[in-house]
Each structure stands twice: as C-alpha cells, then as structure tokens.
C-alpha cells in the first residue's frame, strides 16, 4: 500500500542511491536520480513526499525533477506542480516504468476540473499502465515528449474540464481519448486511434490522424512538420558519463523521431562543457561569467533572482532548465537575452515577471537583428511565462523575437487571471509575443490575458501551427480596452499592416469578460493580401458578458454567450474564396 511506503525513512534514499550517484553531476537537493537497483519502496517514498507538497502547490516556490537511470521500475508516479519526470537513457525504451504515471486534476474541490493543472512534464521513458490506461488530465504549460505508452491515454479526468495541451515525439500503442479537452496540439506523434474533439484540435506531422476535417469535427491536419529541432534531453551511458543530447534539425517530417531503424541523429555535449547552476548560490554575474567562457548552461530546479539578464552570446549554446527552473528579474531587467547567433537553444524554463516593470522578459536577438539562420536557427522548447499569480509582476513584452528563422516549440505566455498580485492595475503586461524577425515558425502557441495585443507579428513569412488564447478577463470598461477609434478591444492575434506573407493553422480565441459591456471587435486582425492566410479559426464566449463580434477583421459571425444556446462561430479559410 502506498500509505505504508510514506513511513520509509528519507535518509535511506540517499544511502541506497550513493553508488549510482558516485559519478553523477551535482544537481543539487531538488533533483533525485533513481536507479532500478534501489528498492521500489524507497523510490516511492520520495515520490510521495514530493507529491504531498506539489499536488496543490500552484504558486509555491518548490521545484523538483526526478531522473530515472536506464532500467525497469514498478511505481506509482503522480506528477504535481513544478515537477519533471524524465528518463536519462539514449531511447525511451531504456527506462521502463510499470504501474502508473499520471497527472490528476489539480483542483482542491475534487471535481475533476483540470483547467488549472499547469507546469509539469514527462519526457524520454516508456510506461506500461497497470490498468492499461494512462491518465493525463492537464491544461497549459504541461509537456509530454519522447514517450512510449504501452496502452491507452486519456487527456481528462472522468470528463471534467481540461484546457491543454501538448504532445510531441510520443508513441501511444492504443487509443488517445481527448474527451473534454478544449484544445490540443499533437506534433510528430503516433497512436493506434484517436477519439474526441471539442473546439480546436491540431495534428502536425502525425501519420495517423483521426478521420474528419474542420469544422465538424474541429480537426486541423498538416501532413508534414516543415522544420523542427526536438528538445534537448539528458543522457547517461553505461559508464555513468552524462551528457546533454541535442537532436539535429529536421525538415518535412512525420511520426516520432526515435522509433525507426535509424533514429534521428543528435550531438552529445559532455558535462565537462556544461556549467551547472544552483539557485541558492548562483547569480546572473556568476552564470554570465561561465557563458562568456563558452560553457553551456544547466539550471537546476529553483528560482533564480536576477538583477541583470542572463546573456547568451556564443553560437550553439544550450540553456536547459530542470524541474521548471524559474528566472525572476528583480530590477526591471530582462530575464534572458541572446545574441543574433546561430544555433542557440533555450529549453525548459519558467520566466516569472518581477514587481518592477521589465521592458521585455526574454529577447531573442537585439533590435534590428538581420542575420539569416535558416541552416541553424535559434530554437525555444517549453519556455513558459507568468505575469502575476505568485505575486505582482509587470512587463511590457514577455517574449520578443528579433532573430530571423527562430523556432518556437511550445510556449505558454500567461498574464495571471487568478492568484496573488492580480488586477487590471497590478499585473501589467502589454503583449505576450512580439515577432519582428522574418521566417519565424511557432508550434503550440498559447497566449492569454495580456492587456493589448496577445500576439503582434511584424515579421514576414511567419508560420503558426496551433494558437490558443483567452483575452483578458478584467478590463473594467470598454474605454479602458479599446485599441483604436471604433475598435473595441485589442485583437488577440495581430499581423501588422506591413506584412505581405504569413500563414497560421488552427486558431482559437475565447472571451471570459468579468465586467458587462466589454466586447472585442476582431479576434484576429490581418492585412487583406493573398499571401496572408489563416486556416480553421474559432471564437468562443464563456460566461454571459460581452463577446467577440468577428473572427478575423470583419469576417465571421459574432459569438453568442447567453443561454439558451451558446454560439461558437468557426471560419475555415481567410481570405474567404470568391
């Protein structure tokens, strides 16, 4: 019984893992490295101890990562807030977990509501669920990557609401049931079958998508992933030599990267070339000194209070966070900036805005960057932003992309609608994402509640595959929320008038206005030109206040919020063919 395992002495974990960790890098106290030679009861006790803290710890300071060495395990692993579970073998099959790996709805009311089940991840292992079904009841900022599930997968808890989500490079032997998920993106994944749909389900590079097409069911399908670099991952070999593996850039792909006779290649960065940062002793200055000397950066779990930005200046530098390592600017500075250089990779970070206003939180390339990086782009994977919630946060722009050819692979950019420091005049944020570079590609773009444009796209040849956005809940009046004369609100997704080429697939914008009499004129604004194209759009009005008058520019019917029948308008193509 799991209740008996909780009584196992905690010191035994360190004793029993000592041999496995003899050559293990110093990951600090918030990373547990497990070996299959360790008694399952000891591992389970540590998992349960962390989950007891993280189960409902939505805005808490704790951060954790569980790393499983190659081998077989028999465990029940619930994944709570700010918890990463990862295998560290060369392939997902190297680490096999029999039993249960699951995410449960985080609501304290025990009503199966998973709409606030944020900030957790599972990567690079295989799992055989005892019941045959793995439950993954999640919403935003939850990453499922590089998994093999020997069974079925459900993306909800007993059909309670969920607002996810993301799956990539994952193989499911059985059925995936999305159920009550409001929206979902699956990239380069595969399964035996898929059931379920709701508002906006997007499949990119999926060889066996479900039958049917937008608008009924609301499935958007893109056969090939045009360009992608999978997220870096940790690997340990038989001699206990550790490295960060960086998958190569790939073009026009379908299916998972590792389940082929010749898995996709990757380069290995040994730990001798990596600086391991710790939140209790590192500062921006100590980190920047290591980066300046050409080191890569591994951020162990915790919060890094930064009085200046982390500066990534060398080409091909990897910055990888474990356990939702959190960057918190303290003096109105950015959290991180990069040079306009080839091959920089950022992955696995949570950016938490500080109380003093930051002009930008992450800046990719300085203003007026002009170099081309098509052969070796900058890439971002699982980069998440939060303004408010844990305390007052303020910024003008969360993520600004100035470098051409940048790839973004899953981001949630969130101005908090609940928690501490939340209010129209408290947690301030103009824009979630501003793109100034050309040829920028984004997969899995979640942007919510900012006070002006959620997304402002100024660069040419941009591509977005899946977009989910709730506009702000809390504009107190229409006068406080108007972008131009005779224009109510700020469009969620704005393509600048100067743009001549842009394309996006699978977009959903939702309103949940707290105060009456507040409307949004257009969910999307874009110039009318043949090479600016949008596919498969939906608007939704929740609660009963206000609404959205048009989907894109002056096209698309208005939402209807009030009973007896809510209307969620859809549009298949823009410009609308003659």
List active site positions: 470
Burial class, 429, CB count within 10 angstroms (exposed 0-12 / middle 13-18 / buried 19+): buried
Q: What is the dihedral of CA 197, 203, 206, 211, to 10 degrees?
A: 40
- What is the spatial distance between Cα 274 and Cα 268, in angstroms, rounded to a whole number? 11
Nearest to 384 by CA among 74, 13, 31, 84: 84
3-state secondary structure of 21: coil
SS (H, E, C) 274-317: EEEECCCCCCHHHHHHHHHCCCEEEECCCEEEECCCEEECCCCC
The answer to whether 500 and 460 have CB atoms below 8 angstroms apart is yes
Phi, psi of 51 (to 5 degrees): -65, -35
- What is the spatial distance between Cα 535 and Cα 219, in angstroms, rounded to a whole number? 11
203 beta partners: 186, 221
- What is the spatial distance between Cα 171 and Cα 147, in angstroms, rounded to a whole number? 6
Residues ≥6 apart with Cβ < 8 Å to 52: none
Max CA separation in the chain (angstroms): 72
Nearest to 141 by CA among 304, 352, 454, 334: 352
ω before 575 within 30° of 0 (cis)? Answer: yes
Question: In this structure, what token pair is assigned to residue 175?
Answer: 């059925």
352 beta partners: 386
């Amino acid at each position: 019984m799991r209740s008996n395992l909780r009584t196992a002495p905690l010191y035994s974990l360190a004793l029993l893992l000592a041999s496995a960790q003899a050559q293990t890098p110093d990951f600090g106290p918030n990373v547990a490295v497990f070996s299959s030679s360790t008694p399952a009861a000891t591992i389970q006790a540590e998992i349960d101890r962390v989950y007891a803290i993280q189960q409902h710890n939505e805005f808490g300071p704790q951060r954790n990562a569980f790393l499983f060495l190659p081998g077989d395990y028999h465990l029940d692993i619930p994944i709570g807030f700010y918890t990463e579970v990862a295998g560290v073998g060369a392939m997902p099959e190297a680490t096999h977990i029999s039993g249960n790996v699951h995410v449960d709805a985080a609501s304290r009311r025990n009503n199966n509501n998973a709409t606030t089940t944020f900030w957790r991840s599972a990567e690079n292992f295989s799992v055989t669920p005892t019941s045959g079904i793995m439950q993954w009841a999640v919403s935003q900022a939850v990453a499922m990557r590089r998994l093999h599930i020997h069974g079925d997968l459900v993306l909800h808890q007993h059909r309670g609401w969920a607002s996810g989500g993301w799956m990539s490079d994952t193989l499911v032997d059985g059925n995936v049931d999305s159920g009550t998920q409001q929206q979902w993106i699956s990239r380069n994944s595969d399964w035996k079958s898929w059931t379920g749909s709701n508002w906006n389900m997007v499949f990119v590079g999926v060889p066996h998508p479900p039958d049917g097409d937008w608008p009924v069911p609301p499935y958007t399908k893109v056969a090939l992933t045009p360009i992608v670099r999978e997220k870096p991952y940790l690997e340990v070999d038989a001699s206990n030599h550790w490295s960060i593996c960086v998958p190569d850039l790939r073009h026009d792909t379908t299916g998972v990267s590792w389940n082929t006779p010749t898995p996709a290649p990757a380069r290995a960065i040994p730990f001798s070339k990596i600086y391991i940062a710790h939140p209790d002793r590192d500062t921006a200055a100590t980190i920047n000194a290591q980066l300046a000397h050409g080191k890569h950066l591994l951020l162990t779990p915790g919060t890094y209070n930064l009085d200046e930005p982390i500066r990534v200046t060398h080409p091909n530098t990897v910055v990888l966070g474990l356990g939702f390592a959190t960057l918190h600017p303290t003096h109105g500075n950015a959290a991180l900036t990069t040079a306009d250089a080839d091959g920089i990779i950022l992955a696995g970070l949570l950016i938490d805005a500080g109380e003093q206003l930051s002009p930008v939180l992450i800046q990719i390339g300085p203003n007026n960057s002009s170099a081309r990086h098509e052969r070796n782009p900058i890439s971002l994977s699982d980069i998440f932003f939060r303004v408010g919630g844990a305390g007052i946060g303020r910024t003008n722009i969360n993520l600004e992309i100035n470098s051409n050819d940048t790839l973004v692979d899953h981001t949630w950019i969130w101005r908090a609608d609940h928690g501490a420091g939340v209010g129209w005049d408290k947690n301030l944020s103009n824009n979630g994402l501003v793109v100034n570079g050309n040829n920028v590609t984004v997969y899995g773009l979640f942007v919510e509640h900012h006070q002006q444009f959620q997304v402002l796209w100024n660069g040419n040849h941009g591509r977005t595959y899946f977009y989910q956005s709730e506009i702000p809940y809390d504009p107190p009046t229409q006068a406080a929320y108007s972008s131009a004369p005779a224009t109510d609100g700020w469009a969620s997704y704005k393509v600048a008038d100067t743009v001549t080429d842009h394309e996006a697939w699978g977009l959903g914008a939702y309103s949940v206005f707290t105060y009456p009499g507040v409307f949004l004129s257009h969910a999307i604004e874009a110039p009318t030109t043949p090479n600016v194209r949008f596919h498969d759009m939906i608007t939704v009005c929740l609660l009963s206040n206000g609404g959205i008058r048009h989907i894109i520019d002056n096209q698309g019917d208005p939402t209807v919020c009030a009973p007896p029948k809510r209307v969620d308008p859809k549009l298949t193509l823009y410009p609308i063919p003659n």
